[in-house]
Structure 1
Amino acid sequence: MIDKSPGLHGVIPPLVSPLTAEGEVDARSLARLIQHALGAGADGVFILGSSGEGTSLSDDQRARMLDVARSETAGAATLLAGTIEPSTNRVADLVRQAIKFSVDGVVITAPFYVPPHRSEIDRHYRRLAELADQTPVYGYDIPSRVRLKLDSELILELAADGVLAGVKDSSGAELSLRTLVNGRRDRGLTGFSIMTGSEVTVDTAMQLGVDGTVPGLGNVDPAGYVRILSLVAAGDLAGARAEQDRLIRLFEIVTVGDRTRIGAASAALGAFKAAVWLLGVIDCPRLAEPAIGLNDAEIAAIRGRMEAAGLL
């Protein structure tokens, strides 16, 4: 097995993509957002994923995001890039783009739109890992978006063959997470990283043996997730649970958006952007087209929840 993993661990927030009022990438806001995360103790950042609206941005916008993020993280933190498209050929174009910016890893879902067979998912990852060469490839298990649950055994097989350097598990399935952690141990895959994408079960996931977390709410309160990991490492499980419970209450900001007016994804991403805008980190809470952001009343409700969480 070829170990291509840089050893992902700790807190790596999947950052939103700050846009101007005209819908272009806001480089200054992105730089501040990256420093907001790193200054709180995050170990790296993940751009152009689901929280980063990666599938909604143009190639030029993606390139601008990559350029700014590489400049802000160079030599200081891990930079992961989402390369998410429905087919192998389309993902390949994004992988080539990301590699030009010397990212530390690319994050890839299973193919979607045309439902794939297990053997086709296997083929997808193997071909993209060959293209990525020395850039680590991380699997992304997010059934809520691709309508498919990655098979844990397939992930472990790809890890054993040196195809995948790690996985972001956003499935919300505890059995899947346990299977990955136990399978890694049983197969001796010491270089394979397992990161949870859940905002609300980080304390228990760390106790299971995952390496860290990639929480969308980490845009808003990265320090809270850093504290959870520190408390678990120190054996203060009660303290970790208390901090997790605080973040669960804060996570309710994703329910503020009126679902009769906007979609669930817009409500969640709109909440994250509105929250970091209220913190003064980004200049505008606009979402990428065609998503509709939160209105003034909804943003006011988010302000109240942030005040209750001690952030404002």
Structure 2
Amino acid sequence: MSVLHLHGILPPFPTPVTADGRVDDKALRKMLHMLIDAGAHGLVPIGGTGEYTALSPQDRERVVAITVEVAEGRIPVIAGMVSPGFAESVTAGKAFKAAGADGLLAVTPFYVSPTQGGIREYFRAYREAVDVPILFYDVPYRTRIVTEAQTIADMEADGSIFGMKACNTDMAHFNQVMNLTSPDFQMLSGEDLLYPAHAALGARGGILASSPLLPHYWLKLYETFKAGELDAGIAAQRRLLPLLDALFAEANPGPLKAAMKMIDQDCGDVLSPLQAPSAATVERLHRAIGELRSAGVLAA
């Protein structure tokens, strides 16, 4: 199976749900068409932002299948897989592959605390079992497990992974991974607040939580950094800081779902155990979105 070639902005979108917590097919299709029309370079259904752990296996597969259907092969679909253990992860990965996903964004196993050798063997066995390209999802502030840079490089050498979504605020770690992996390693930023630094150190783009809300703006930011215009890119990204501060004030995707509703992309409520964002956070979101609309960043 050929390795995917990822770059640009691949939105990890929230899963729209109805009042009874089922997938809202109509709202999902509306959002997907909006993201594709905006020029997204790929789509990342489910995962953390998509509330993987709160959805049934059937609903997860439905979201992936609808995403593949709407994408029509124009851009890659990388399904997020955040199951904690091997057997469940293989079952989910094979189901997403059967639904048409081009690759998987697979998290480090959590709850247990594997050694570095255990992580390496897990991904070797997982890649062999599901037979689909694997993008490593490094998110230690969720998994409570730090995967060493050398381990990530070893997993690339094994053929287990072809790239990584970096949700690690340790910039020294990011730099070490970039140094130890090959020039073909497909590094994508997962940190909206650190994207300028990640881009400067070699990230090919981003899987960014705020990109479903601001796809056009993030695509322009990507092009700006790709052109080497670092000062302009940093200034443009800093315009988003009030919004980003509000979006990450409470657990994702609560504030993101609230913000999506403000731009006529109603995704419904978050699923248990998450709760709707506080009134104070919603007010911060309204204020930040209002400022971006006044500045022409968002349509009025």
After superposition, the C-alpha distances for 1:118-173 in whole angstroms (9 at most, x for unaligned) are 1211121011100122x101111001111111111111111112110111110111
In the alignment, what sits opposite 2:260? 276
- Runs (4+) of structure 1 moved beyond 3 Å? 295-298
Contact 2:11 2:211 in 1 (8 A): yes
In the alignment, what sits opposite 2:111? 113
Q: Which of 186, 191, 196 is matched with 2:189 structurally?
A: 196
Structure 2 counterparts to residues 32-43 of structure 1, below 5 A = 32-43=30-41
Measured in 2, the distance between the counterparts of 1:298 and 1:165 equals 38
**Partner secondary structure for residue 135 of structure 2:** strand
Query: Sequence identity, in percent?
Result: 25
| Equivalent residue letter for 1:141 | D
Contact 1:168 1:195 in 2 (8 A): yes
Structure 2 counterparts to residues 1-312 of structure 1, below 5 A = 4-133=2-131, 135-184=132-181, 189-254=182-247, 264-265=250-251, 268-282=252-266, 284-294=267-277, 298-310=281-293, 311=298, 312=300
Aligned residues: 295
| Equivalent residue letter for 1:280 | D
Measured in 1, the distance between the counterparts of 2:202 and 2:9 equals 14
| Equivalent residue letter for 1:217 | S
Q: 1:285 to 1:253 in 2, by over 3 A?
A: farther
In the alignment, what sits opposite 1:261? none
Measured in 1, the distance between the counterparts of 2:123 and 2:93 equals 12
**Partner secondary structure for residue 75 of structure 1:** coil
TM-score by length of 2: 0.93
Measured in 2, the distance between the counterparts of 1:247 and 1:181 equals 26
After superposition, the C-alpha distances for 1:66-98 in whole angstroms (9 at most, x for unaligned) are 111111112211101112111111111111111
Gaps of 5+ in 1: 257-263
Q: CA RMSD in A?
A: 1.7
Query: 1:4, CA displacement in angstroms?
Result: 4.1
**Partner secondary structure for residue 139 of structure 1:** strand
Tell me which moved more, 154-163 or 230-239: 230-239
**Partner secondary structure for residue 145 of structure 1:** helix
